[in-house]
Structure 1
Amino acid sequence: MNRLLKYQWELAAPFCGALLTLAFAPYDYAYVAISALIFVYAAWQQRTPKRAALIGYLFGLGLFGTGIWWTYISIHDFGGADPYSSIALTALLVAVWALFPALTGWLIAKWSVVPANGLRIVGAALAWVAVEYFRGYWLLNGFPWLQIAYSQIQTPLAGFAPLAGVYGVGFLLALSAFTAVEMLRGRVATRHGLPLLLVIWAGGAYLQTVQWTEAAGEPIKITLVQGNIGQEHKWQSSQKLATLKLYRELTEQHWDSDVIIWPETAIPAFLSQVKEFYIDPLQAVAREHGVDLVVGLPSSGQGKDYYNSVMTLGETQALYHKNHLLPFGEYLPLQPLSGWVLDQLQIPLGDFAAGGDRQTLLSAGGHAFVTTICYEDAFGELVARQVAEAGYIVNMTNDAWFGDSSQPHQHMQMAQMRALETGRYLVRATNTGVTGFVGPDGVLRKQAPLFNTVTITDQIVPMTGLTPYVVLGDKGLFALLAVLLTVMYGWRRWFAGYTPKPAADAVESIGD
């Protein structure tokens, strides 16, 4: 029993990591995130950096093991790998991403020797979101899944998203949880901690009433088409004509709309293969009815390059090529190692080219819009840097790769954050779900039923104006947080006269 008590934090860590998963869609127990963060921060207190990293790693195994298990569906059911290889690759992904909570634990344990309470808490919260940013934006082109801020899309903290984006919301969530731990441990006086928490949460509630952008024109009537084509049939040549017929028939029911949007790669053939007999006639009839179509399809470039593309048809005809590609799904990083491994496992994956950062915005319904294809809507700065000239945001996705799992719901939650950050309506057309309309407040206003062949229609208002986050960006936020930390450190050092203790002097408390 004594031995179990000695390692109680390690034993509980995977369960608390799994608990954090419940804060995200489709479970939406948002406040569970605070409990999970309180646990892991408490577990890191007065631990050696090495032990804190172990606790963080075990926490990460619980979080990612329960939060991204759906990668198995993609690898096995649709990638064609055998069960053992699929389990091994899924476990490898979980093991790799769990390294990031381990890094966070190591950093916070190193920083925990700082005796200044405010400096210690702010530094720890900054360490949390800085590691999330590195994971979500830089490593292997970024993997921002399960960043803590997405769990708060329905809480008062969502009010800070138009000011500071997803990492600002994450910082305030971590700051709240870490302050609570310091209060419980008696290191922060209640008279100091409670007012801070009140300012954060009441301030967020107030900010939810602020409208940062304004209407830029009359409402636009938009129809979203959800074809519900099974991934196992999508690219079969024998199904191509039936798929093309289905989308055209669903579209012809809505010539009274201003804009009709299809999902990612709704057309299962290259543009050059369908242009004359399908695209050109569709363009003509759309123009005849005064409707703009936005369709997804692959297209060829120069040489061997090919793209995951979006095409507008109607008043104008133009292309957007996906720029932020999904690693191991649309391109193979770590070549030649990754290609060799996947060849051995006989898993066929695409190798698309990126479209580039300087693409002209597409237009439909009389307004330009920001285009995001699937995974691109997970990156706030990618949307923010294009939104100044855009009236709304369009996301086109095919989440059929992940079946009836939590992934489509998690993905929609991330898309909702993009609408909230930018103060724009977001419309999202997917193959199997979640298809829906999101307001500038991040609320999912209308949704199609999953795994149904269906269309849904609603009106959106094109918006103008920039939120503070669009102006600031993620890099600007981190610069401000770094300045805050530096000022706090300087104040304590030069005016309060202390010198931080070396990390080697940290005392590890076993089983407290």
Structure 2
Amino acid sequence: MTALAEFAMLSFGWRRALFVMLAGAIAGLSAAPVFFLPALFLGLSVLVWALDGAERRKGLAGAVFGPAFRIGFAFGFGYFAVTLHWVGAAFLVDGGWLLAAMPPAVAGLALVLALFWGMGTALAHMLWSSGAGRIFALAVGLTLAEWARGTLFTGFPFNLLGYALTANAEMMQAASLVGVYGLSFFAVLIAATPALVWPAADRSLVARIAPLFAAFALIALQIGWGHYRLGNTPTTPLDGVNLRIVQPVISQDIKWQTYARAETIQRLLDLSTMQVGPDDAGLDDVTHLIWPEAAIPFFLSDEPELLAQIARTLPDAIWLVTGAPREPYGTNGEIVPGAKPYNSILAFNGAGEVVTSYDKTHLVPFGEYLPFDDLFRALGVTQFVAGSQGWAAGSERRLMELPGSPAFLPLICYEIVFPGALGPVEEAAFLLVLTNDAWFDGSIGPAQHFHHARIRAVEEGRALVRAANSGISALVDPLGRIETMLAEGQVGAIKGVPDQPLAATVFAQWRYGPLLVLLALGLVAALPGWRRRRKGLDG
């Protein structure tokens, strides 16, 4: 390890960039669904050693865009290229010229996100020292970078560093205290400790390994507390709610084809009414039938006979909650010409009438809408999700309240991955997420997306109901445990009752408050070493 540390510190130029990029790629193995935590220890230690050898530049511009920035940028590119390579699977759906666009698109996403990490390491290097304070500085810098990339410019908080510390139900429970951004702080702090062991310098063996053992003790404490919370937090099913979740597994390349509409609806209805067990009563005891995002792949006005078929099949005392496109209507009930449609969740009663709806508010850039629309369309670039105009964003997050049913918070697809920014969660009986991950079938994307959703359940202390076109559909309790699920690619239906909300978690009460405390403590821990370094330089 000493030789590795010295190489990281002494290398420069393109050799350092490639070496640090490889370290970032290795660190990416700690993300879901692999969760190989030793990879994060190795990767972040190399990052610390590389920053130890980074040249210092005078002036603000030199500090912000100097070697420390380039080191963090290269490390981030390696990390995001590994953890988000699955985004390229969306280009395989339509094939053709899009296959040529896949490599630059995936690389471009990694490069953009790596900018945040470059700024994070540049900030950390301003507080750098030779002692333990430097890993606190790195924890502060990268945590702020993670918050920024998850929040600014619509945000993209996939694979935050903190997810590496949520590999199982016991470890997940810490998210109820500090959220995944807070766990990102601890992930950096813990995983960078090997950099304090090597090289040896003049420190005693005890002084060198004590931080590493402290890191292991912190992980053990996290697991132990999670085990205690799981064993001492009772959950109670909601009264008057019995769900049936359908996973149709309809291929993305035929989903929006006109000729497939009747077959699609028939498949959904067959799965809705089939027996899922020897004592199953079909829809007779179901209060809510849940279909995934865009399960109805057409405007309701286009296929009145198919809607009538749905109404004939549904019992009177049932709610069908499904994803579907929604046309934009004016105040007088007319369709607004030229306006973009909505990616929506519609609630039908047993008579097939739409009672209420929710329009997706947080759209995916380049997936559901085009930033700088006119410019990109002039260049022939369109969004990937069906609908030549793209989608319009809904006005606000709100609860879906159905007569005789507890209110729940509806979310569509990646709206669930934003920690602390889901909407009026405190008034919701449970979280409902409809998604269509078929764009990424065969990749690790659906597993990552599902894991992120489970962490939201833990943070908020709310049960999670997830319906996906091709998986993973599941019922998750407020502690993040899977009660029943359909695996990726499994055609079928599951039934279950979501649990009542838990008492408000620390995260639900204080949101980013614990994170701010951690950042403040990290700065306090980093400053003494920085002051000593400054005095040494000045002297």
When normalised by structure 2's length, the TM-score is 0.81
- Which of 151, 160, 171 is residue 185 of structure 2 equivalent to? 171
1:310-459 correspondence to structure 2 within 5 Å: 310-314=345-349, 317-343=355-381, 351-363=390-402, 366-383=405-422, 385-459=423-497
Q: Classify the secondary structure of the residue corresponding to 1:85.
A: helix
Q: Distance in 2 between matches of 1:101 and 1:52?
A: 10
1:226, distance to aligned residue in structure 2 (A): 1.0
Change (3 A) 1:486 1:408: closer
Given residue 6 of structure 1, which amino acid in structure 2 is its aligned partner? S
Residue matched to 1:93: 109
Moved more, 457-466 or 171-180: 457-466
Given residue 11 of structure 2, which amino acid in structure 1 is its aligned partner? K
Q: Distance in 2 between matches of 1:22 and 1:365?
A: 46
- Which of 333, 341, 347 is residue 306 of structure 1 equivalent to? 341
Residue matched to 1:471: 509
Q: Classify the secondary structure of the residue corresponding to 1:310.
A: strand
Residue matched to 1:295: 322
Residue matched to 2:63: none
Q: Distance in 1 between matches of 2:448 and 2:145?
A: 20
Q: Classify the secondary structure of the residue corresponding to 2:142.
A: helix
> Could you tell me whether the CA contact under 8 Å between 1:362 and 1:371 is conserved in 2?
no
* 1:341-396 Cα deviation digits (max 9, x unpaired): 4439999765212112253434498222121101101112222x422111211111
Aligned: 1:235 with 2:274: no
Q: Distance in 2 between matches of 1:486 and 1:104?
A: 14
* Unmatched segments (≥5 aa) in structure 2: 1-5, 57-65, 275-281, 330-335
Q: Distance in 1 between matches of 2:240 and 2:356?
A: 23
Q: Distance in 2 between matches of 1:160 and 1:219?
A: 31
Residue matched to 1:249: 270
1:180, distance to aligned residue in structure 2 (A): 4.0
Change (3 A) 1:144 1:340: farther
1:88, distance to aligned residue in structure 2 (A): 2.5
Residue matched to 1:18: 25
- Which of 135, 142, 150 is residue 155 of structure 2 equivalent to? 142
Aligned: 1:72 with 2:79: no
Given residue 324 of structure 2, which amino acid in structure 1 is its aligned partner? L
* 1:429-453 Cα deviation digits (max 9, x unpaired): 1111122222222233433132232
Change (3 A) 1:185 1:468: farther
Q: Distance in 1 between matches of 2:457 and 2:106?
A: 31
Moved more, 346-355 or 234-243: 346-355
RMSD value, Cα: 3.4
1:19, distance to aligned residue in structure 2 (A): 1.8
Q: Classify the secondary structure of the residue corresponding to 1:367.
A: coil
Moved more, 196-205 or 186-195: 186-195
Q: Distance in 2 between matches of 1:259 and 1:382?
A: 26
* 1:310-342 Cα deviation digits (max 9, x unpaired): 112237821011111111111111344333344
Change (3 A) 1:458 1:185: farther
When normalised by structure 1's length, the TM-score is 0.85
Q: Distance in 2 between matches of 1:16 and 1:370?
A: 40
Given residue 29 of structure 1, which amino acid in structure 2 is its aligned partner? F
Residue matched to 2:3: none
Q: Distance in 2 between matches of 1:86 and 1:154?
A: 30
Q: Distance in 1 between matches of 2:159 and 2:259?
A: 38
Given residue 320 of structure 2, which amino acid in structure 1 is its aligned partner? L
> Could you tell me whether the CA contact under 8 Å between 1:44 and 1:108 is conserved in 2?
no
Q: Distance in 2 between matches of 1:336 and 1:153?
A: 42
Q: Classify the secondary structure of the residue corresponding to 1:329.
A: coil
Residue matched to 1:222: 243
Q: Classify the secondary structure of the residue corresponding to 2:420.
A: helix
Q: Distance in 2 between matches of 1:347 and 1:354?
A: 14
Q: Classify the secondary structure of the residue corresponding to 1:463.
A: coil
Q: Distance in 2 between matches of 1:27 and 1:486?
A: 32
Change (3 A) 1:364 1:249: farther
1:212, distance to aligned residue in structure 2 (A): 6.7
Q: Distance in 2 between matches of 1:245 and 1:265?
A: 15
Q: Distance in 1 between matches of 2:23 and 2:7?
A: 20
> Could you tell me whether the CA contact under 8 Å between 1:424 and 1:462 is conserved in 2?
yes
1:9, distance to aligned residue in structure 2 (A): 4.4
Residue matched to 1:207: 225
Aligned: 1:266 with 2:295: yes
Q: Classify the secondary structure of the residue corresponding to 1:55.
A: helix
Q: Classify the secondary structure of the residue corresponding to 1:381.
A: coil
* 1:411-469 Cα deviation digits (max 9, x unpaired): 11111111111122212111111222222222334331322322122333222431111
> Could you tell me whether the CA contact under 8 Å between 2:399 and 2:409 is conserved in 1?
no
- Which of 277, 286, 290 is residue 305 of structure 2 equivalent to? 277
Q: Distance in 2 between matches of 1:442 and 1:364?
A: 28
1:213, distance to aligned residue in structure 2 (A): 8.1
Q: Classify the secondary structure of the residue corresponding to 2:174.
A: helix
Q: Classify the secondary structure of the residue corresponding to 1:318.
A: strand
Q: Percent identity?
A: 28
Q: Classify the secondary structure of the residue corresponding to 1:429.
A: strand
Q: Classify the secondary structure of the residue corresponding to 1:437.
A: strand
* 1:91-125 Cα deviation digits (max 9, x unpaired): 22222222233222222222214x7744x433321
Change (3 A) 1:450 1:198: closer
* Unmatched segments (≥5 aa) in structure 1: 507-512
1:12, distance to aligned residue in structure 2 (A): 2.6
Q: Classify the secondary structure of the residue corresponding to 1:130.
A: helix
Greater RCO (Cα-Cα under 8 Å, separation 6 or more): 1
Aligned: 1:103 with 2:86: no
Given residue 480 of structure 1, which amino acid in structure 2 is its aligned partner? V
Given residue 100 of structure 1, which amino acid in structure 2 is its aligned partner? F
Q: Distance in 2 between matches of 1:37 and 1:3?
A: 15
> Could you tell me whether the CA contact under 8 Å between 1:309 and 1:319 is conserved in 2?
yes
> Could you tell me whether the CA contact under 8 Å between 1:223 and 1:261 is conserved in 2?
yes
Given residue 68 of structure 1, which amino acid in structure 2 is its aligned partner? L
